[in-house]
Amino acid sequence: MSDAPKVAIVTGASQGLGEGIADAYRARGWRVVGVSRSIAPSQADDWITVAGDVADPETARRAVMAARDRFGRVDTLVNNAGVFIGERFTDYTAEQYRQITQTNLDGFFHMTQAALPLMVEQGSGHIL
The full set of domain ranges for the chain reads 7-127
Q: In the CATH hierarchy, which top-level class contains the domain 7-127?
A: alpha beta
Mean pLDDT of successive 10-residue segments in the chain (128 residues)? 85 97 98 97 96 97 97 96 94 96 96 93 77
Taking Cα atoms as reference points, which of 36, 41, 33, 126 lies closest to residue 72?
33
Distances (CA, A) of 110 to 18, 55, 86, 91: 18, 7, 25, 28
pLDDT score at 125: 75
pLDDT score at 82: 95
pLDDT score at 107: 97
pLDDT score at 101: 96
pLDDT score at 124: 73
Let me know: does 21 contact 13? Beta carbons within 8 Å.
yes
